[in-house]
Amino acid sequence: MNAYEQYMREIAQPMRDELTNAGFNELVTPDEVDEFMNTNKDSALIVINSVCGCAAGLARPAAIESLQGETKPVQLVTVFAGQDRDATAKMRDYFQGVEPSSPSMAVVKDGELKHFIPREQIEGYEVEDIVSQLTDAYTKYC
């Protein structure tokens, strides 16, 4: 690992911890992504985490806050764009017809994409608006 990669890992660690401390399981390899997507039959929230300032600073708190209600996904997973590139690319393969976007959030069930929130629906929005998008999707799919 070169000095830049090491620096970025250190910068990203608190952003990883924010989600893992809230109960998200981090998928860091393509095999872990395949295993999850091919075996999980429950509802799941997938957060494509990112260092990107404004949007990522809204996405993580919104994802965590969205889990406070009674209706929520059974599984919580995350991949980190720009850090775990291969795992992120593999996860995006499961989101057919959706442009790559980070940060972003997806609700899946039975390995099938049910709802997707791209960066464009995160950046510039209030946390409450993003939470509302997520909880509406939970009501529908969880």
Q: Which residues are catalytic?
A: 52, 54
d(CA 127, CA 31): 32
Residue 28 sits at the vertex; the CA angle it makes with 6 and 102, to the nearest 5 degrees, is 80
d(CA 16, CA 11): 10
d(CA 54, CA 124): 8
Residue 51's CB: how many other CB atoms inside 10 A?
16
What is the SS3 assignment for 14?
Answer: helix
